[in-house]
Structure 1
Amino acid sequence: MRKLLMLIFILPFVAFSAVGIPFLKPSLLNLKDDLEDAKRDGKYLFIMFHQEGCPFCDKMRKVTFQDKAVQEYFSKHFYMVEIDIRGANEVVDVDGKKMTERQFAHKYGVRLTPVFMFFDQKGNVVAKVPGYIEPKDFLLIGRYMVEGHYRDTNLVKFIKENKK
């Protein structure tokens, strides 16, 4: 019976990861815990704000997130959690405050989608990037975080200087 219950609980997560986004973290939307998990695993946490019917969100999932280099790099260095900007599910922010997904998006000034919000390992927002992002640019954003450039360089400047 216990094995059956575990299977019932785990199966949806396995099915979701089979969609092809290996760095998507199964989350109960407790970002405080998700940030701790990321720190423990030597990774960074970022949020993908989305909404139903968003064509650029779908394009991110079908193009950028399916890119082999993006999958390898982001699986190694990041956890992603999705937040529906119109959602009513409870979110626990990195500071422990509870609110709905919609309130969380509003708190961070997110009105359109997709928006990608990256946290440092202390829970500070260090980059917020709107819109569809090509794989090569998404990898640059990843490098910006992992290599610590966010500490002393503006993201736009970093991308301009490193774009080939």
Structure 2
Amino acid sequence: MRALIAVATAATLAVASPLLAATLGDDGLHKTDWMRDTFKDLREDLAEANAEGKRLVIFFEQRGCVYCTKMHEEVFPEPVLSDYIEENYFVVQMNLHGDTEVTDLDGEALSEKAAARKWGILFTPTILFLPEEVPEGQSVSQAAVSVMPGAFALGTTLDMFTWVNEKRYELDGDEDFQRYHARMIQERDNGKTD
């Protein structure tokens, strides 16, 4: 009987509990199950992402970032987004002020904070999306197909991840990200969500 009560209580708590947010790591950055702990040699990360059929994406965050917290507590836990990221992306997290060594796609080894300066990252969160193939000698900032600077609501964030994953940046025509996003707003819930 106690076992049955324990199972029922656990099931009730699981249903009643809100979406789980990311945990904070020792570095003060949010950690999710879909983030990869790599040696931060981005050439190797790109090759591994390609081998898994995923897109390489780099998340810049920093300790105490209220916008990063908002994203990790309110946006990324939504299953429609977290499942999409996990299924389609190889995520490498970087610390805007970090000292961990990173090897850029052009082969240069530098600290996370030096990489942030080199790539023009000014604030957090900033998400850089990479293509599957990068011409030799290009840095991350030169190769990025899109950059998402800042914290956005679920609809905008999902649309950006979808737009990149579907390679809509390569399509000819007039539907850049803003037009794509506007169309998706209209299609989603009759325009009730962003």
2:171 is the counterpart of 1:154: no
Out of 153, 158, 163, the position equivalent to 1:139 is: 158
Alignment of 1:39-78 (within 5 A): 39-78=50-89
Q: Distance in 2 between matches of 1:74 and 1:63?
A: 15
**Which one has more relative contact order, counting CA pairs under 8 Å at least 6 apart?**
1
Query: Percent same amino acid among aligned pairs?
Result: 25
Deviations 1:53-91 (A, max 9, x none): 100011111121111111111111001111111111100
Equivalent residue, structure 2, for 1:109: 120
Q: AA paired with 2:85?
A: F
Radius of gyration: which is bigger? 2
Preserved contact between residue 50 and residue 82 of structure 1 (Cα < 8 Å): yes
* 1:158 to partner: Cα distance: 2.2
**TM-score, length basis structure 1:** 0.83
Pairs within 5 Å for 1:17-36: 21-36=32-47
The answer as to whether partners of 1:86 and 1:101 remain within 8 angstroms in 2 is yes
What is the TM-score normalised by the length of structure 2? 0.71
SS of alignment partner, residue 66 of structure 1: coil
Which residue is 2:101 aligned to?
Answer: 90
The amino acid that maps onto 2:68 is: C
- The superposition leaves residues 110-156 of structure 1 with CA deviations (integer Å, 9 ceiling, x where unpaired) of 11111111001114201111111212221111111121102135322
Structure 1: runs of 5+ lacking an equivalent: 1-14
CA contact (8 A) 1:44 1:121 kept: yes
SS at match of 1:95: coil
Aligned alpha-carbon RMSD (Å)? 1.9
CA offset at residue 159 of structure 1? Answer: 1.6
SS of the equivalent of 1:122 reads: coil
Are 1:118 and 1:126, in contact at CA under 8 Å, matched by a contact in 2?
yes
> Which residue is 1:7 aligned to?
none
One-letter code aligned to 1:150: Y
Distance 1:21 1:52 in 2: 15
Count, aligned residues: 148
The CA distance in 1 between the partners of 2:121 and 2:179, in whole Å, is 23
Report whether the alignment pairs 1:163 with 2:174. Answer: no
1:107 to partner: Cα distance: 1.1
Q: Does 1:122 align with 2:133?
A: yes
TM-aligned CA deviation for residue 157 of structure 1? 2.9
